[in-house]
Amino acid sequence: MMKKNRKSLFIVSTLLLSIILLSRCINKTEAFNDERGRSYAGSASCRQCHQAIYDSVLLSAHFNATAPASRKNIHGKFTAGQNEFAYDTDTKVVMENRDSGFYQVLYIKGKETAAHRFDITFGLRNAQTWLYWDNGGTYELPVSYYTSVHEWATSPGFSSTHPDFKRLIGRDCFECHSSNIKTVINTSLTAEIPETLVRSSLINGIDCERCHGPSANHVNYHLENPGSKNAMYIVAISKLSKQQKLDMCALCHSGNDKRKIESRFNFRPGDTLANFFLENANTTNNFDVHGNQFRLMSESKCFTGSNTMNCSTCHDPHKDATSNLSFYSQKCMGCHSEASHNFCPKADSLGISIKNNCIDCHMPKKPSEAISFKLAGSTEKSSYLLRTHRIAVYNNETTPVKADPVNK
């Protein structure tokens, strides 16, 4: 009798253990339902162990490089008198808040002739532009919002006299503004676009796994071994070489004039950038300030003279870039000091103010040649100013730092 009870107890215990293990597997499958595949856990899983870092990343421009369009992340105004872009006396685009979402609505002689919804927000701080979905393609809306002027203006490269709702945006743009989107090649001869974007596969923004690589094994291991202090099954960024760290950033911050031979989505931390692009010869070295931060920095003596300087020397990838110039000036003075005899020669005349702003003199804001816009009623291009990452001595290209009143 006792043997039968033991046998029954063993069978029941085995069944219970199987059920527990199976349910754990099912829960993991549900939790890691990531469009990129089973090796990905999804960024939300990182918060379980890295709450402070995760919450900080949520506010960054990288994480919000794309986002579902909502009133929370559309900076422009929708109130009457502040929500229009006039092309001429008869033609205008009006930004409207409707029951089904936010729209750019084209009116010609007072009659609505087209309306397209804000579906995807591109950008967070300097400017925002929007895309709308249509039959498997994404199209850029003709009016964008620019923080520098706090106004609606033409989207980059769009006409200020003729509204255009048919600029197709392909997968290339998503490769630097999102973490995933899949495509389906259109084989039909009647297809209007060569490939269809799979809307459900879009993962907005630059998420944790875009920089740290697939993390499902890492998350599984540490959930099962909460006492383990060694990061397992994840790329340790700190252990990468200087060039490997630079390649991670240069993937999207070294310009768009290179011939791509492999999708950026396939890049993993530790990979070599040369396996993804063929470098084009640029004999002028006149790199644009938009999207060319790495190549501009590579022209700087501060960078070429250092064995350790990389992007994270000045930028914390887990935080949004601050507008506090004093913060970055302190980074400069980590190498440039009076004791090292390589401090600013104008320090005596400028006084303490030089310690609060090295940046405007040595990394001034410059107009982008790749991006410009036009305000309503103007035929002149307005400059889109971005801070150059070529650290140098500039003459008459920026407003000089004002002298400290105490030391005039």
Report whether 68 contacts 119 (CB < 8 A): yes
Cβ proximity of 129 and 123 under 8 Å: yes
pLDDT, position 278:
82
Q: What whole-number distance in Å separates Cα of residue 94 and Cα of residue 104?
A: 6
Report the candidate in 302, 284, 287, 309 with the shortest Cα–Cα distance to residue 393.
302
Decide: 401 and 360 in contact? Cβ < 8 Å.
Answer: yes
pLDDT at 345: 81
Which amino acid is located at 11 in the chain?
I
Tokens encoding 113: 């002739």
For 374, counting Cβ atoms within 10 Å of its Cβ (0-12 exposed, 13-18 middle, 19+ buried), the class is: middle
Q: Are 69 and 80 within 8 A, CB to CB?
A: no
- pLDDT digit of tens for each residue in the chain (408 aa)? 555 555 555 555 555 544 444 444 434 444 578 999 999 999 999 999 999 999 999 999 999 999 999 999 999 999 999 999 999 999 999 999 999 999 999 999 999 999 999 999 999 989 999 999 999 999 999 999 999 899 999 999 999 999 999 999 999 999 999 999 999 998 876 778 889 999 999 999 999 999 999 999 999 999 999 999 899 999 989 999 999 999 999 999 998 877 889 999 999 999 999 999 987 665 557 899 999 999 999 999 999 999 999 999 999 999 988 888 999 998 998 888 878 888 888 777 777 777 788 899 999 999 998 899 999 988 888 999 999 999 998 875 544 433 333 332
Find, among 198, 137, 197, 127, the residue nearest to 168 by Cα.
137
Q: Helix, strand, or coil here: 119?
A: coil
Q: Tell me how far apart the alpha carbons of residues 49 and 45 are, in angstroms, rounded to a whole number.
A: 8
The whole-number pLDDT of residue 132 equals 98
- Bridge-based pairing of strands 277-278 and 365-373 is unpaired
Give the chain's mean pLDDT. Answer: 87
The whole-number pLDDT of residue 189 equals 67
Domain ranges of the chain: 52-206, 240-408
Contact 148, 367 (CB under 8 A): no
Question: Both tokens of residue 140?
Answer: 């850029």
- CA of 377: how far to CAs of 65, 154, 261, 341, 383, in Å? 30, 11, 42, 53, 16
pLDDT at 255 (0 to 100): 87
The burial of 1, by beta-carbon neighbours within 10 Å (0-12 exposed, 13-18 middle, 19 or more buried), is given as exposed
Structure-block tokens of residue 326: 């004093």
pLDDT reported for residue 337: 81
> How far apart, in Å, are the Cα atoms of 236 and each of 48, 76, 218, 330?
19, 40, 12, 27
| Pairing mode, strands 137-140 and 127-134 | antiparallel
